[in-house]
């Protein structure tokens, strides 16, 4: 994400080609190997087989959001679908809208305009306690979740939890 907009959507290899290291945080090992021209390990999680024709668990439809009426817009027209079994990463610099996007996916925030559908239920029209809660794992690259494991091992733990 960059300033409340999706800046890249695609596979990990493409992300590593498109990334601006001054704007997002990546594991030091990835940056060092890339700088040295060495190949890097691409994370391949074990997940259920995806059905691209299945209904999305979470659907963002032109989502815009402001925390207060007199504050700047945080999300600017987010459009994306997340289906069962998909593993996605939302990366960006501080204040780019990552946490706000995840809070919308959990039904904790309601969009100013646009719609967020959680298993087909509109988050604006359904009381929060009645909204489905998709499984979400959040990890900050600079923290170690399972000491003394390195970042890559922590990341691999996500699908097993």
d(Cα 132, Cα 123) in Å, to the nearest integer?
Answer: 10
pLDDT for the residue numbered 92: 83
The topology (CATH level 3) of 12-160 is Rossmann fold (3.40.50)
Compare 154 and 101 and report the one with higher pLDDT: 101
Report which of residues 73 and 150 the model is more confident about: 73
Q: What is the pLDDT of residue 82?
A: 87
> 3-20, pLDDT tens digit by residue?
777 777 777 667 666 766
Using the predicted structure, report yes or no on whether residue 140 has a pLDDT greater than 70: no
Residue of higher predicted confidence among 130 and 22:
130
Do residues 139 and 155 make contact, with C-beta atoms less than 8 angstroms apart?
yes
Q: How far apart are CA 76 and CA 86, in angstroms?
A: 23
Domain boundary assignment for the chain = 12-160
Give the integer Cα–Cα distance in Å for 104 and 107.
5
CA–CA gap between residue 42 and residue 12 (Å, rounded): 7
Residue 161 has pLDDT above 50, yes or no: no
Element (H, E) at 153: helix 151-157
Contact at 8 Å (CB) between 63 and 122? no
* pLDDT tens figures, 73-128: 999 999 999 888 777 888 888 888 999 998 998 888 999 999 999 888 898 888 77
Instruction: Say how far apart CA 133 and CA 118 lie, in whole Å.
Output: 8
Q: What is the pTM of this model?
A: 0.59
pLDDT digits (tens, 9 = 90+) for 24-58: 666 677 667 766 766 656 666 566 677 778 888 89
CA distance 111 to 62: 9
Helix (H, G, I), strand (E, B) or coil at 118: strand
């Amino acid at each position: 994400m960059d300033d409340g907009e999706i800046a890249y959507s695609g596979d990990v290899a493409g992300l590593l080609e498109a990334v601006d290291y001054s704007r997002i945080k990546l594991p030091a090992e990835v940056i060092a190997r890339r700088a040295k021209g060495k190949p890097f390990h691409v994370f391949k999680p074990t997940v259920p087989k995806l059905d691209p024709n299945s209904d999305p668990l979470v659907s963002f439809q032109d989502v815009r959001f402001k925390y207060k009426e007199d504050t700047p817009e945080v999300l600017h027209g987010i459009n994306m679908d997340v289906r069962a079994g998909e593993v996605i990463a939302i990366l960006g610099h501080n204040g780019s809208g990552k946490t706000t996007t995840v809070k919308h996916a959990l039904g904790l925030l309601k969009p100013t305009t646009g719609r967020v559908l959680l298993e087909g239920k509109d988050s604006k029209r359904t009381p929060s306690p009645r909204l489905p809660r998709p499984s979400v794992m959040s990890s900050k690259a600079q923290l170690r979740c399972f000491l003394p494991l390195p970042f890559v091992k922590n990341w691999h733990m996500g699908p097993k939890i």
